[in-house]
Amino acid sequence: MNLFDYIRPTSVSDAIAAWQPGAAYLGGGTNLVDLMKTGALRPGTVIDITRLPGVDRIETLPNGSTRIGTLVRNSDLAHDPDFAMAFPMVAEALASGASGQLRNAATLGGNLLQRTRCAYFQDPHSACNRRFPGAGCDARNGDSDNHAILGWSDACTATNPSDLCVPLMALDAVVETQGPQGKRDIALADFHHLPGAAPHQETALEPGELILAIRLPANATASRHNSRYLKVRERTSFAFALVSAAAALQLENGRISAACLALGGVAAKPWRVPAAEKLMLGQIPGADLFRRAAEVALEGAVPSGDNGFKIDLARRTAARALALAAAGTPAQMPALPASVFGESAHV
């Protein structure tokens, strides 16, 4: 690990003032420290934000929205009874990620900013446009099983690894930030960037900008009785998704009055297709309807290498997540959260 300066500010304004080009904010450290150890990232200054006041709370705001501070730990959020009841698919996504020990350390803000698990990004000896713009992309002619099938470019085919961001995308979450230019809100739908010709520009954050919180709108609780997160992975625990899906429905008189569907593991950002949601409105829930919605959700999917299997896998995962949501949210967290092996519904 290279030498670096370490700073521990005690206020948000001091943390932002301490930032300089080449610096990195440190929360739980479950991603940053690993990348520093391998040499994939080499910040000159590490700014420890774990002592900042007022950003480690889960709050219900006067307008009914829910605000989650950037330093709230994944495990605390997943197991908060009020939050899990209001947003069960978010809790299920959190409980399906990493290991218990890592969930105890990982933070909300860090989850939003975690870097891709592409092996070529993680390896400092490989060419990667995300680490060094213009270096090339070794994944284009390498191991691409877990790479993107939507929104990728010749410059980068990596995927976003977050479980949490998939249901947050489905529920229209908003990211609160503060930087040298002040505070602002960023819709999560606009927060992560597709690679295009500039894959190193991964998010909408400006230099020095710090995530303060995530907000979920008051109406996001309306689908709590019919929402699920489903994750397909190479092993049941401590593995990132090959593909995943967050599905939420509102049912009235046996028909779908509102629908949300977002996919993970398929692109550099959580993937949501409003056309697939619109197709289901006013319809009676059923396997045929969900298969058609999944087809629409995957329109335009193209293999970025030897990963064409992910297209059909994503379709099946989306359809099954919708079927599970229609069947109803479980009264308690499944023994194997988000696992295909922990459920009985098949599509």
Q: Is residue 66 a part of any domain in this protein?
A: no
- ∠ CA 7-12-14, nearest 5°, is 50
How would you write 202-261 as a 3-class SS string? CECCCCCCEEEEEEECHHHHHHCCCEEEEEECCCCCCCCCCEEEEEEEEEECCEEEEEEE
Q: Is residue 298 a part of any domain in this protein?
A: yes
Query: Is a pLDDT exceeding 90 seen at residue 346?
Result: no
Region 27-50: mean pLDDT is: 96
Region 65-70: mean pLDDT is: 98
Query: Is a pLDDT exceeding 70 seen at residue 183?
Result: yes
In this structure, the number of other CB atoms found within 10 A of the CB of residue 340 comes to 17
Percent of the chain with pLDDT over 70: 98
Task: Read off the tokens for 299.
Answer: 């329109």
Region 114-141: mean pLDDT is: 97
Give how many domains the chain has, as a whole number: 2
Q: How far is CA 124 from the centre of its chain?
A: 24
Per the DSSP assignment, residues forming a β-bridge with 67 are 59, 215
Region 36-59: mean pLDDT is: 97
pLDDT of residue 343: 60
pLDDT of residue 341: 86
The pLDDT tens digits for 226-276 are 999 999 999 888 899 999 999 999 999 999 999 999 999 999 999 999 999
H helices present in 61-164, as ranges: 74-78, 81-86, 88-95, 100-105, 108-113, 119-122
> Which of 11, 33, 51 is the last residue before a domain boundary?
51
When computed from its CA atoms, the radius of gyration of the chain, rounded to whole angstroms, is 20
pLDDT of residue 1: 65
Q: Is residue 194 a part of any domain in this protein?
A: no
> Which of 51, 76, 92 is the last residue before a domain boundary?
51
pLDDT of residue 347: 34
Mean per-residue pLDDT of the chain: 96
Q: How far is CA 119 from the centre of its chain?
A: 19
Q: Is residue 81 a part of any domain in this protein?
A: no
| CA–CA separation, 290 and 305 (whole Å) | 28
Percent of the chain with pLDDT over 90: 96
In this structure, the number of other CB atoms found within 10 A of the CB of residue 134 comes to 8
In this structure, the number of other CB atoms found within 10 A of the CB of residue 59 comes to 12
Q: Is residue 195 a part of any domain in this protein?
A: no
Region 40-52: mean pLDDT is: 97
Query: Is a pLDDT exceeding 70 seen at residue 181?
Result: yes
Q: Is residue 261 a part of any domain in this protein?
A: yes
288: left (phi over 0), alpha (psi -120 to 50) or beta: alpha
Q: Is residue 86 a part of any domain in this protein?
A: no
pTM across the whole model: 0.97
Q: What is the CATH number of the domain that holds 11?
A: 3.30.43.10
Q: Is residue 111 a part of any domain in this protein?
A: no
Please answer whether residues 283 and 255 qualify as being in contact, where contact means their C-beta atoms are separated by less than 8 angstroms: yes
- Torsion over CA: 72, 77, 80, 86 (sign): positive
Determine the structural domain holding residue 281 and report its residue range. Answer: 223-340
Give backbone dihedrals phi and psi of 305, rounded to 5 degrees, phi first.
Answer: 170, -140
